Amino acid sequence: MSLPRRVVLACTSAIAPLHQGHSTGIWINEAQHPFNVFRQAGFEVDLVSETGQWGEDWLSVQPDFLTGKDRENYEDKSSEFRTKLDNMLTPDKIDATRYGIFFASAGHAALLDYPDAKGLQDIAIQIWFRGGMVCSVCHGPAIFPGIIDPATGQSVVHGKTFTGFGTQGEEDMGLAATLYKWGKPWVEDVAKALGATYAPAPGPWDAFHVVDGRVVTGTNPASAQETAEAILEVFESL
């Protein structure tokens, strides 16, 4: 049975102060770049957050990070990507049997809601159980503890290698003190707790991704496009 050529692109629903009083939410290109890659490959893509709420990460829409056609596409309220954002679905609107890929986009806010996002986690579990893929970028691995493989009773990443935004990057950004106050596991903590191996990029901001079976992960915003491209390569081999 061939897998459906449809993607659940998960988005954080959390909004919290982080960047000198500015809020974190979705890191826009971590959703936008994979969206573009999947759509150009002919996949249907639905954006889903746990509550249907979303907010942009302030830093992600600053001129150094959102430029050119990416900015035009995001600011165009009639573009397909922006329309999907503004009409964000909730998990109860999704029939997981119709999808072959679960992709967790991120932003620091994902650390807050992904660990308890039972609706998103259940979708991912169903996709995995049917032979589909569970993937993420940057802080997306925060969702992995709740994505349990029914065959093993362990997280789908148990015994696997994955990447995401590491501790060095948090410290380099000067965000560690705030993140400690959140009391949520960081990406490297998640790997350790789940019996997985964390693979760091050569540098926190270098594009880097890891393929381990049906789990494909990227380190940071710069990795989002290549991670999506790697996901498609694996998908076509399933």
Nearest 5°: CA angle at 122, between 213 and 135?
Answer: 30
Selecting among 11, 139, 188, 209, the annotated active-site residue is 139
Selecting among 33, 170, 188, 209, the annotated active-site residue is 170
Selecting among 33, 50, 108, 138, the annotated active-site residue is 138
For residues 171 and 107, give the distance between their C-alpha atoms in angstroms, rounded to a whole number: 16
Q: Which residues pair with 102 in a beta bridge?
A: 8, 134
Please report the DSSP string for 166-189 in residue order: -HHHHHHTT-HHHHHHHT---HHH
* Cβ-contact 147, 122 below 8 angstroms: no
For residues 224 and 19, give the distance between their C-alpha atoms in angstroms, rounded to a whole number: 21
Asked if 139 is an active-site residue, the reply is yes
List the one residue out of 164, 178, 170 whose CA is nearest residue 216.
164
* Cβ-contact 27, 62 below 8 angstroms: no
Asked if 138 is an active-site residue, the reply is yes
Task: Convert 13-42 to b/e letters by CB count within 10 Å (16 or more is b).
Answer: bbbbebbeeebbbbbbbbbbbbbbbbeebe
- The length of the chain, given as a count of residues: 238
Asked if 135 is an active-site residue, the reply is no
Token pair 């993420």 is found at: 136
Q: Which two structure tokens, joined as six digits, stand for 136?
A: 């993420």
Catalytic residue positions? 138-139, 170
